[in-house]
Structure formats: structure tokens, C-alpha cells
Amino acid sequence: MEDKQKGQGEQFVMISAEDARARGILDGDRVKVANDRGAFKGVARITDDVKSGIVVATLGYWRQLNEGTVNSISSGAFTDMGHAPSFSDNLVEVSRAN
């Protein structure tokens, strides 16, 4: 498992500079991503690749190596249009982790 983690790196969260600044988050800080379903922690990567109001996190990180995963914040419900999964979009709050 160490080889897999070495290849993938740590769980990260991509966040815009504007959103990071508003929350006192610096590149490389540990952050907590949370909603009413749960939470997970990751490393902040400040980037222009995401717009303000959006964060991006990878799927499939090992739960035993982290405090939760993106699945912790996801819903298993289907949409009302086409019975599609709804796990790709989640309302969350991001804060610096202690």
C-alpha cells in the first residue's frame, strides 16, 4: 500500500486563490471539507484551475490512511432526471484543519 500512496500522494483539495484567501488557507495547509453528511481532510492546492465557489477532490483515497474520504460527503441518492447518480456535486464548506 505504501507504493500506491507514494504514487498517488496525499489526498488533496483544489481550491481557488480567492476562496483560500477568504478562509485563511495557504497552499499546502491541511483542510477539512465538510457538510451535513460527513467530512474528510486533505492538503490544499491553490490553483487557477478551479473557479471561486468550487473545490475539487480526487475520488478513491484510502479511508484507513486519512480522516474520511470524499465518499463521506456524498449522497447515494439518484437525481429526479434520468435516475442519474448525484455524488459528483456536493455543497460543502472548507476550513483549515487543526
- In this prediction, residue 73 carries a pLDDT of 79
Domains of the chain, each with CATH number or no CATH: 2-96 (2.40.40.20)
pTM: 0.79
CA distance 74 to 57: 12
| Neighbour count for residue 15 (Cβ, 10 Å) | 27
Exposure string for 31-51, b = 16+ CB within 10 A, e = fewer: bbbbeeeebbbbebbbeeebe
Contacts with 53 (C-beta within 8 Å, 6 or more apart), sequence order: 16, 19
What is the pLDDT, as a whole number, of residue 63? 58
Residue 88, pLDDT above cutoff 80:
no
Q: What is the pLDDT of residues 10-66, one digit of tens each?
A: 788 999 999 999 999 999 999 999 999 888 899 999 999 999 999 998 766 555 666
| DSSP assignment of 15-38 | E-HHHHHHTT--TT-EEEEEETTE
